[in-house]
């Protein structure tokens, strides 16, 4: 990474004094709750204010806030009191920064090779263009429901800084990391936060695949001028999964021009990729150098504690209080990918729903035991057949090429079932359903897993199918 971080000593000293007291309180709390609880709910908190009987505790996200309010308020109040602070009221506030050791706004960031950029005036206002900006943003992805840990705190901090001042310090921002580490979530959160702060902002979120698709479409319809205008009119231009530009020369050229246009007028550019720019094969050199012009951040798989916190958060968003042991069990089993982690939680919750049980560690271990000794008849073929029958379509249709919605959905459900019941690999699942490309399986399964977070008809189908399989 081409940047240095220099911490301001003074700033740190001040913070330490303010928080010395809070550290004492935390030290005491650590002794009275389990380690898991401490790590999940207390570790990243800080004292923001202590004045006139009001204590304000800074917390990293809404889930910690809820949990501290609901479960630990008395404990905190008592511990404060035994440290000489009589709090009449304790407030929990989500602090938009993150723990002081990595708060980027308070550190000096230098980027070698990036000269001062004079802002060129945009030549025309883009307001007159049809403003379907905000298209592509999913409101589900927010900073508030993003759990911060050491694996993603830099990316998180940079994204937050961008919301405060788009087009300023971290431009372009290039985030890379493996599948399911939270790249899309985070860059979408930027878009949503910018829109919340400035409803008129022109935020474009697109994937490079969509960019390509629409570009080809525009070529065909001879509307490339509109296409270019739309993208070049963005205030914040977010492009997900730029690795898919590899090898596509014509679209790389369009991308390059859009990029330059936006960059010249200091518009914010954010890109994600599953690998660093230098490792994307057949990416034009000029794009490669553009990508690494600003800030490049590597997002890692969340560590164990963060995975536990994510599980708690996801469960809580469905009003379920996940026991710490269950969270630890699941976080231990799924190590690489947050999407899979969510998937395993959803399986547990679906199982509990079917069996009217609570997700205690006993229930969950029993569930995994049953899985291991699954009935012999559960083969891929059997699952695919059952799924087709359940949705009243034929086996030819589910395995065939048709892309009608009433066939695509059952196909996606079948892929999900192969994953959840037989734990098949993505390529194997794609193969079983007659697909060549395993990313189809990843997308399909991800889509169904998302549906399972809500009370959707699909969730009901999955529950019924699963009941049928094990009946
Ligand atoms: P990527 O784009 O890196 O493949 P996503 O952003 O799609 O990953 O994340 C996969 C899933 O995991 C999403 O549902 C996302 O909300 C969730 N997720 C990932 N990281 C976090 C996190 N730190 N906190 C909460 N949810 C997360
Ligand atoms: Mg993504």
Q: Is residue 114 part of a domain?
A: no
User: Which of 204-213, 240-249, 446-455 is predicted with the least confidence, judged by mean pLDDT?
Assistant: 446-455
Is residue 120 in some structural domain?
Answer: no
Task: Using the atom order of ligand 1, give the atom closest to the CA of residue 152.
Answer: 23
Q: What is the DSSP letter of 50?
A: E
For residue 146, the ligand 1 atom closest to its alpha carbon is: 24
Residue at which a domain ends, from 326, 343, 372: 372
Are residues 232 and 288 part of one domain? yes
Tell me, yes or no, whether 263 and 162 share the same domain. Answer: yes
**Whether residue 182 is found in the same domain as residue 327:** no
Atom of ligand 1 nearest to the CA of 338: 12
Q: How much is the mean pLDDT over the chain?
A: 83
CA-CA distance, 405 to 370, in Å (whole number)? Answer: 33
8 Å CB contact between 224 and 253? no
CA angle in degrees (0–180, nearest 5) for 5-9-293: 15
The better pLDDT of the pair 176, 343 is held by 176
Closest C-alpha to ligand 1, atom 14: 339
CA 418 to ligand 2 centroid distance, Å: 22
Q: What is the pLDDT of residues 64-114, one digit of tens each?
A: 888 899 889 999 999 988 878 888 999 998 875 544 433 343 333 323 333
**Ligand minimally distant from the alpha carbon of residue 98:** 1
In ligand 1, which atom is closest to the CA atom of 186?
A: 6
Task: Report the percentage of the chain scoring pLDDT > 70.
Answer: 86
Mutate to test the pocket of ligand 1, among 339, 451, 452 (most ligand atoms within 8 A of CB): 339
Q: Which domain holds residue 344?
A: 304-372
Distance 71 CA to ligand 2 centre (A): 34
Do 166 and 272 have their domain in common? Answer: yes
Q: What is the pLDDT of residue 375?
A: 65
Of 245, 266, 299, the position where a domain reaches its end is: 299
Atom of ligand 1 at shortest distance to CA of 177?
A: 3
Residue 166 reports pLDDT greater than 50: yes
Least confident segment among 270-274, 282-286, 295-299, 428-432: 282-286
Query: What confidence score (pLDDT) does residue 152 get?
Result: 93
Residue 333 Cα to ligand 2 middle (Å): 22
pLDDT for the residue numbered 457: 87
Q: How far apart are CA 423 and CA 406, in angstroms?
A: 25
Same domain (yes/no): 318, 431: no
Tell me which residue has its CA closest to atom 23 in ligand 1.
Answer: 147
Which CATH number belongs to the domain containing residue 63 in this structure? Answer: 3.30.300.180
| CATH number of the CATH domain containing 151 | 3.40.50.300
If you take atom 5 of ligand 1, which residue's CA is the nearest one?
182
Rounded percentage of the chain residues whose pLDDT exceeds 90: 46
What's the CA-to-centroid distance between 222 and ligand 2, angstroms? 30
- Give the pLDDT mean for 422-445: 90
Whether 309 and 190 share a structural domain: no
pLDDT digits (tens, 9 = 90+) for 379-405: 899 999 999 999 999 999 999 999 999
Residues 180 and 285 in one domain: yes
106, part of any domain: no
Which residues line the pocket of ligand 1, CB cutoff 6 A?
Answer: 145-147, 152, 177, 179-185, 302, 310, 338-339, 342
Q: How far is it, in rounded angstroms, from Cα 382 to Cα 375? A: 11
The predicted structure's pLDDT at residue 96? 57
Residue whose Cα lies nearest atom 4 of ligand 1: it is 180
Mutate to test the pocket of ligand 1, among 63, 142, 160, 182 (most ligand atoms within 8 A of CB): 182
In a domain, 122, yes or no: no
CA 40 vs CA 171, 204, 318, 359: distances in Å: 33, 34, 18, 18
Report pLDDT for 307: 93
Best residue among 205, 338, 344, 443 to mutate for probing ligand 1, ranked by most atoms within 8 Å of CB: 338
Please give the pLDDT value at position 453: 73
Same domain, 200 and 328: no
The residue-averaged pLDDT of 345-361 equals 89
Ligand nearest to the CA of 446: 1
44 and 75 fall within a common domain: yes
Residue 84 inside a domain? The answer is: yes
Does residue 28 fall inside a structural domain?
yes
Indicate whether 276 and 138 sit together in one domain. yes
Predicted pLDDT at 112: 30
- Cα 142 to averaged position of ligand 2 atoms, centre (Å): 14
Q: Which of 372, 397, 429 is the last residue of a domain?
A: 372
CATH number of domain containing 347: 1.10.8.60
Host H or E run for residue 94: strand 89-94
Quote the ligand 2 centre to 449 CA distance (angstroms). 15
Residues 280-290: pLDDT tens digits? Answer: 888 888 888 88
Please, what sign has the CA dihedral across residues 224, 226, 227, 229?
A: positive
Alpha carbon of 424 to ligand 1 centroid (Å): 22
Three-state secondary-structure class, residue 273? strand
pLDDT at 5: 40
Neighbouring CB atoms inside 10 A of 32's CB total 11
Ligand 1: centre distance to CA 453 (Å): 14
The predicted pLDDT at position 4 comes to 36
Ligand 1: residue whose CA is nearest its atom 1: 180
Q: Does the residue 109 lie in any domain?
A: no
Say what the pLDDT of residue 131 is: 37
Structure confidence at residue 139 as a pLDDT band (50, 70, 90): confident
* Residues constituting the chain: 471
Ligand number nearest to the C-alpha of 185: 1
The CATH number of residue 397's host domain is: 1.10.1750.10
Cα separation, 267 vs 235, in Å, equals 5
The protein residue with its alpha carbon nearest to ligand 1, atom 26, reads 146
Note whether residue 61 is domain-resident.
yes
pLDDT tier, 441 (very low <50, low <70, confident <90, very high otherwise): very high
Distance, CA 147 to ligand 1 centroid (Å)?
A: 9
| Residue 135: per-residue pLDDT | 66
Statement to judge: residues 186 and 284 lie in one domain: yes
> Which residues, in sequence order, are CB contacts of 171 under 8 Å at separation 6+?
162, 263, 266, 268, 269, 294, 295
Taking 70 as the threshold, does the pLDDT of residue 15 lie above it? no
For the chain, what is the domain count? Answer: 4
Closest by Cα among 217, 227, 226, 237 to 136: 237
| Minimum CA distance residue for ligand 1 atom 19 | 182
Q: Which ligand is nearest to the CA of 299?
A: 1
| Same domain membership, residue 325 and residue 289 | no
CA of 252 to the centre of ligand 2 (A): 20
């Amino acid at each position: 990474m081409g940047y240095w971080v220099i911490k301001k000593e003074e700033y740190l000293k001040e913070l330490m004094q303010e928080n010395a007291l809070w550290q004492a309180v935390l030290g005491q709390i650590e002794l009275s709750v389990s380690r898991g609880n401490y790590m999940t709910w207390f570790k990243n908190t800080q004292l923001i204010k202590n004045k006139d009987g009001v204590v304000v505790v800074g917390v990293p996200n809404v889930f910690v806030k809820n949990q501290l309010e609901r479960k630990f308020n008395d404990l905190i109040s008592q511990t404060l009191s035994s440290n000489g602070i009589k709090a009449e009221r304790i407030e929990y506030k989500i602090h938009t920064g993150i723990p002081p050791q990595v708060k980027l706004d308070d550190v000096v960031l230098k980027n070698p090779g990036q000269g001062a950029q004079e802002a060129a005036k945009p030549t025309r206002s883009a307001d007159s263009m049809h403003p379907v900006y905000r298209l592509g943003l999913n409101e589900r992805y927010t900073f508030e429901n993003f759990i911060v840990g050491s694996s993603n705190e830099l990316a998180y901090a940079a994204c937050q800084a961008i919301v405060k001042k788009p087009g300023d310090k971290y431009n372009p921002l290039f985030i890379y990391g493996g599948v399911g580490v939270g790249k899309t979530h985070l860059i979408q959160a930027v878009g949503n936060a910018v829109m919340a702060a400035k409803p008129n902002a022109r935020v474009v979120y697109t994937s490079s695949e969509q960019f390509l698709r629409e570009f080809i479409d525009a070529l065909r319809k001879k509307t490339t001028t509109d296409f270019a205008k739309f993208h070049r009119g963005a205030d914040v231009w977010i492009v997900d999964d730029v690795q898919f530009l590899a090898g596509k020369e014509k679209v790389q050229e369009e991308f390059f021009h859009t990029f330059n246009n936006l960059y010249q007028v200091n518009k914010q550019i954010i890109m994600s990729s599953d690998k660093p720019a230098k490792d994307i094969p057949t990416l034009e050199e000029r794009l490669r150098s553009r990508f690494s012009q600003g800030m490049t951040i590597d997002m890692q798989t969340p560590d164990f504690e963060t995975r536990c916190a994510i599980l708690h958060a996801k469960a809580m968003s469905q009003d379920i209080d996940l026991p710490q042991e269950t969270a630890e069990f699941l976080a231990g089993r799924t190590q690489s990918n947050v999407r899979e982690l969510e998937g395993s939680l959803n399986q547990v919750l679906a199982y509990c729903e079917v069996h009217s049980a609570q997700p205690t560690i006993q229930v969950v271990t029993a569930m995994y035991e049953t899985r291991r000794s699954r009935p012999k008849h559960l083969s891929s073929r059997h699952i695919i057949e059952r799924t087709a029958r359940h949705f009243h379509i034929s086996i030819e249709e589910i395995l065939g090429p048709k892309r009608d919605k009433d066939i695509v959905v059952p196909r996606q459900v079948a892929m999900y079932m192969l994953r959840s019941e037989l734990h098949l690999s993505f390529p194997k699942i794609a193969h079983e359903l007659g697909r060549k490309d395993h990313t189809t399986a990843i997308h399909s399964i991800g889509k169904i897993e998302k549906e399972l977070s809500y009370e959707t008809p699909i969730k009901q189908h999955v529950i019924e199918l699963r009941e049928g399989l094990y009946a």
